[in-house]
Each structure stands twice: as C-alpha cells, then as structure tokens.
Chains A and B, each alone.
Chain A
C-alpha cells in the first residue's frame, strides 16, 4: 500500500513536470513565431504562468508537507501576482508610446511584418 502511494506520487510528479515543460517550450516557440508584439505578450504571460505554476505544483506533490513546500507555495503566489502585473505594465506602456495591434488583413498580406517573417 505504501509502495503504491509512493508510485502514485512519483507518477503525478512527472505528469506535472512534463506538462509544465511543454508549456515552457510552447512559450519559446510563441516568442519566435508570433507576428506581433501583443501576440508575443500573450504567449509570454499565459503559457509562462501555466508552465511555472504546473511545475511548482508537481514539486509540492513530490515534497509533501514541509517548509520547502510552503516556500514553493509562496513562489506560486509570487509568480501568479507579478507576471500579469509586469506584462500589463509593459503592454500599457507600449500602447501609449505608439504600438498598435496588427489587423488580420495586414497579417495576411505581410506588409508590416514581411521583413521579419521572410527570413524564418
């Protein structure tokens, strides 16, 4: 019975770790492939918070109840509070200094971002 619980704990640990790694890799791919600044911010806020939170939840399950897991819970709270705030400040500052979102028509004709997409 105890062996089975330990096996279940390790299985959940690897499940959360691998899904968080998948989210971090999709953040990196989104940073490279998205055509616009605001879409890149979307990749850099949502996927990043999901990946980091998932990895920390996996470590909490692996650790059990201990001071280290309390520290990891504090790290999750910090991550969920600071990353959307920082990204919101960045998007507001960029929007007020002249960045506008690219409309779908511009995106298909590749007029605005043609130089950037041609060499990828």
Chain B
C-alpha cells in the first residue's frame, strides 16, 4: 500500500514537470520547481518508512531548508525588486 502511494506521488511530480519544460516565462518554471521539490520532500518521508531508515527524515529536513534558499535566490536573480522598477 505504501509503495503504491509513493508511485502515485511520483507520478504527480512527473506531471508537474510538464510546466517546467513548457512554461511561457521563467517564473512559471520556478513555481513548478518549488512544487516538485516539496513533492519530493514528501516522497523522502514516505521512503524513510518504506525502507525503515530514519536518516531519510533528516535528509528531508535539510532538503526543505535548501529548497527555500534555492527558490528565494532564483526569485531575486531573475526578477526585479520593488525599489528597482517603480
């Protein structure tokens, strides 16, 4: 049962990858990468129960923090802040 749910979540992540390949702008791609990252964080928690290894939970925690820094830096790099444009 847990393996089936892992595969369903993986299919959801693959379906969200369509927006990364075919986004009209770069921000759509960043939003889709954010959602894929959190889906893989959930899949890591599932896998820590499926393989009975608790180290995957720590990996998920650090992965979430790194994902936050990732999205924030990409949003700062590709766009403009309020003081620059208007």
Contact = CB atoms under 8 A, between A and B. Distances in A.
Contacts, number: 142
Interface string B1-41: 10001001100110110110000110110111011001101
A116 B9 CA distance: 26
Q: Which 10 A-B pairs have the closest CB atoms?
A: A93-B79, A82-B68, A86-B71, A28-B15, A28-B12, A94-B27, A97-B79, A93-B75, A44-B35, A90-B75
17 contacts: A21-B5, A21-B9, A21-B12, A24-B39, A31-B16, A32-B15, A32-B16, A72-B57, A79-B38, A83-B38, A86-B68, A87-B31, A89-B71, A93-B27, A93-B80, A94-B75, A97-B80
B45 A75 contact: yes
Task: Please tell me the size bucket of the interface on B.
Answer: 35 or more
A114 to B, nearest CB: 12
B67 interface: yes
Chain B contact residues, majority secondary structure? helix
Interface residues of A, number: 44
Nearest to B38: A48
B27 A20 contact: no
A106 B57 CA distance: 45
Contacts of A18: 5
B8 A89 contact: no
Contact of B57 (A14, A51, A68, A85): A68
B60 interface: yes
A28 B43 CA distance: 15
B10 to A, nearest CB: 10
Contact of A71 (B8, B24, B58, B68): B58
